[in-house]
A and B are shown apart, each in its own frame.
Chain A
């Protein structure tokens, strides 16, 4: 019986094909305006972060020329929804897919199918298991994040000289511990900086606030608090503001523009850093383009040209770091606080 079902679809197809042929030909003619189609698949539509990434992708497409960006994603953040989107992109014969995955494993079979049909697949932001992609584009690397945190601390101190303290998340937070480790390792490159102490606010607003207050009273020489966590940096800014120490003690670290806009306005912080989604979308598009063009195979060790972002180096496990975290200050905070 199943063969009959299949036959029915085919017959219907043949019957329709004749009448449709002309329209199809017209459509195909219209569709060939762009030489290359890149599918930018996001976790879900209607998210400011991804809208910003799309902006960057469009910028790259314009720069490269002849590239059409298909910005798409499911309505809810499900792997099943992304698979439907991937299938639709495969059917359209896109040249590349750049995906921020809802599930690193569940999308692998669908992406493998895409690769079999000659589509170049990369992941960015939220990665895919190595079997499903050529490379994963991370917004930054641990080394660069550690360096950026020190650079921010030095920028807040006159002549880059003075004491600073770290306000971290929990003592067991993997990311924060790696970043603090990197900071300590690179401290020798910033001879003016002196790390006084590290305290832990457990990524809880109230505990982080109290720890920051403690720092202010126990270590009056500390001029900068560096918090490599979005919760900590916000709480410390509030503590500095409430203690009336704006201008004497500065707060910096990794934060979200939407949350940190107030701290920039009050002067508790001059600048802080985090990844820039626009650059991420831009770089993902640049990499996809060069993979399709065949300029590079994207294997570990290769270097890929990425326009204004410079050369992107692919490291072990097919992971690539885009660059330094992006610095936000009074000049650009209004633009980005609307985005994420």
Chain B
């Protein structure tokens, strides 16, 4: 994160973050522009879901139940923050769930060997970083497309877990290790939720208030121009893969602690849920646009929908359909809006 110092001689990125096409300087009142923002729309959806849930189930408005509900999304959201940056820069990492599996397996093996909580955390973070390093190396140094690389490492990392564990499970984690996934910081605020809040703030600052964050936007908008502007494109991407690996390692610690055991099928299918969260949060899958705030709201929307429908005992498949529809609407709305606008002009 200290890498921006050599680039301070180049102030271009600050201005370059606007999209290449139409640069509307003043259109409508600031208030109208705020209303049209995806995050505001999504926030409206979140509030609507919250109210609907509260009306539909008498059990929803209970602070402990709501606290339980946050566990449905906190771990995924931790990864989604890093993933958002990666997607904004025009890359993707589909190996995140497999990194959880590998990190969890490594922690399980270490716990069997009698290593304490601090050691386990270090191993979880280390494996996460290591996996991110491999992804970053293949993408940034070997210049391979990230979608291909991470589909490969997805099989590789989880494959190692399956070889190590087979149909067995690791258990016997130390008592104090349970804090990360089952502990509470203050009242009904769980450690995981606190971590989620802190990570949201840190990633917001990183993306929206630092030179590094602006470089991420520039790379996503125009990789070529970014290179000509003297932005170390490959280095930025490498750091983003490291960061995604690290966040996956943190999620692995939380999830392993919450489950109290490790199987190679842990976190199966989470990579798509993380990407869904990112895209639902208004991050452009083509890169170059998005906010952390949007991802935070998307995390709440997904968590509230899952929990609310669960309270009503609606089968899980209906939740999948709902999220799927929401996702299609997310992608379709801006495109359709753009077309209507274009039609109005001609």
Contact = CB atoms under 8 A, between A and B. Distances in A.
A28 B258 CA distance: 32
B267 interface: yes
Interface residues of A, dominant DSSP: helix
B316 A81 contact: yes
A16 B186 contact: no
Nearest to A29: B58
A108 interface: yes
A76 B269 contact: yes
B260 A106 contact: yes
A87 B309 CA distance: 12
B71 A87 contact: yes
A2 B260 contact: no
Given A84-B310, A109-B259, A2 B58 contact: no
A74 interface: yes
Interface in B146-205: 169, 171, 178, 181-182, 185-189, 193-194, 197-198, 201
B317 A91 contact: no
A45 B58 contact: no
A109 B260 contact: yes
Interface stretch (A19-27, A153-161, A272-280, A296-304): A19-27
A83 B68 CA distance: 11
Interface in A36-83: 45-46, 70, 72-76, 78-81, 83
Nearest to A71: B313
Nearest to B62: A91
Contacts, number: 133
B3 interface: no
Given A75-B317, A91-B68, A105-B260, A10 B57 contact: no
Interface string B303-314: 000110011010
Contacts of B210: none
B54 A16 contact: yes
A13 interface: yes
Interface string B47-68: 0001100111111111101101
A34 interface: no
Which 7 A-B pairs rank lowest in CB-CB distance, beginning with the nearest?
A: A88-B310, A105-B261, A75-B316, A91-B65, A106-B259, A2-B197, A27-B58
Given A5-B193, A79-B265, 15 more contacts: A3-B186, A16-B54, A70-B313, A72-B313, A76-B269, A78-B268, A80-B268, A85-B310, A87-B72, A90-B65, A91-B65, A91-B307, A93-B59, A106-B259, A106-B266
21 contacts: A6-B186, A6-B189, A13-B61, A24-B61, A28-B58, A46-B317, A70-B313, A72-B313, A72-B315, A76-B268, A80-B259, A80-B268, A88-B310, A88-B313, A90-B68, A93-B59, A103-B259, A105-B259, A106-B261, A108-B261, A109-B178
